[in-house]
Amino acid sequence: MKKVSKNVAKARKAVEPKPYVLPEAVTLLQKVKFAKFDETVEVTLRLGVDPKHADQMVRGTVVLPHGLGKTKRFW
């Protein structure tokens, strides 16, 4: 078995392997953050659409509140 850090062990103990509703997940994320930097969160959503149909395609973008930290350069 691979050895994990104290913070990872504390986070794993606090999080149960079950689906969470979004408000509950956000409060749990705020409670189990231990890093000194901005952490990454992966979100998986089941939308119930069929991507084979053209009218049900799901694509979009999200504007982050503080951007990516990089400025765009156009050649």
Q: Give the residue, 40 or 14, on which the prediction is more confident.
A: 14
Report the pLDDT value the prediction gives residue 67, as an integer from 0 to 100.
65
What average pLDDT does this structure show over 27-52? 80
C-alpha–C-alpha distance, residues 46 and 63, integer Å: 21
Note if the pTM is more than 0.85.
no
Sign of torsion, CA 26 30 33 39? positive
pLDDT band at 9 (very low <50, low <70, confident <90, very high): confident
What average pLDDT does this structure show over 50-56? 79
